[in-house]
Amino acid sequence: MIPQIEIDKNKCPTPYECKKCLQICPQAIFAVAPTKVERFKETAPEDYEVQAVFKDKCVLCMDCVKVCPTGAIKIKVGGR
């Protein structure tokens, strides 16, 4: 079963600046990207979002949950 990995955007307002989960994950399942892009403008840090993408690769080591300074990451396995 693919785990459910939810990241609370309210608890993780500027993921690019923190990026702890992105760099600790042994399976590199996370991605951080801008939610909007404008001409002649760099996207503001708050307009970035981190998502768990390659979830089928997650081995449930929970390193990301432990490293997250705000407790924004919740992992659940399937329907259990």
Partner 1 sequence: MCELCEKYGDNGGRWYLNPENYARPLYKKVEKEKEKEPMILTELQGPFYYKPLIELKDNPEAFEKMREGYLKFHETMSGQVVSLEDAEKMVEIAHPIARIDCICRRITRATLEDGEQRPRSCLGLGVGMFRWEEWPERYKGGVEFLSTEEAKEHIEHWHKRGMVITIMTFGTPYIGGICLCDYPDCLAIRMRLDYGIKPFLLKGHQVAKVNYEECTGCGTCVQRCQFGAIKMEVTTKKSNIDMTRCFGCGVCTYACPQDAISLIDREKLPGLKEEW
Partner 2 sequence: MEKYNFGLDEEMVKALSEEFAPLNFVKTLKLSQPHSIEDARASLEEYGRELARRSIEKGEKKIDRVYRVMKKAMEKTGEMKFPFIPQRYLEIAYLSIQPFRRLRIVANSSRILSYRLNECSLYKAIEEQYGKKAANKMVCKSACFALIEEILSHFDFDIKPSLEASMADDGKCQFKIERK
Residues of this chain that interact with partner 2 (CB under 8 A) are 39-42
Q: Considering CB under 8 A, how many residues would be counted as binding partner 1? A: 29
Q: What is the largest CA-CA distance in the chain?
A: 47
Least Cα distance to 49 among 3, 2, 14 occurs for 14
Contact (CB, 8 A) for 50 and 30: yes
Rounded CA-CA distance 19/14 in Å is 9
Answer yes or no whether residue 1 interacts with partner 1 by CB under 8 A.
Answer: yes
Residue list 4-43, contact with partner 1 (CB under 8 A): 15-17, 19, 22-23, 27-28, 30-34, 36-43
Please report, as ranges, the residues that interact with partner 1 according to CB under 8 A.
1-2, 15-17, 19, 22-23, 27-28, 30-34, 36-43, 51, 53-57
